[in-house]
Amino acid sequence: MTDNDDILQTLYNVILERKANPTATSYTNSLMNGGIDKILKKVGEEATEVVIAAKGGLTDEIIYETADLLFHLLVLLGHQNIPPEAVYNELRRRLGRSGLAEKASR
């Protein structure tokens, strides 16, 4: 396992720590205090910024905005008490299946 393999879990653990032990200077805590609507607003904003960055085609901007989106998605998962492993398991379940077949099964 490399450092990259567990960065999302490490970040998620930090988010849970901030949730459990809030401080006034924590951005994560300010999101949690704002509740689901504030978190969802940030997820939407960051998703839009990824789209804009991708449209612009600048690799560094795409990477930066994708990192922001992943962070805010982890905050959402933490707020809802959903471990990232649940998402990874869903991705594993879908691996090797046609995307069209998976969509048709819902």
CB of 71 within 8 A of CB of 84? no
> What residue ranges do the domains of the chain occupy?
3-104
Q: Give 14-32 pLDDT, tens digit per residue.
A: 999 999 999 999 999 999 9
Mean per-residue pLDDT, 93-99:
85
Instruction: State the pLDDT confidence band at 74, using cuts at 50, 70 and 90.
Output: very high
Mean pLDDT score across all residues of the chain: 93
Q: Give dist(CA 87, CA 35) in Å, integer.
A: 21
| Of 100 and 86, more confident | 86
CA atoms within 13 A on the CB side of 102: 10
pTM score, whole prediction: 0.88
Q: Which CATH architecture has domain 3-104?
A: Orthogonal Bundle (1.10)
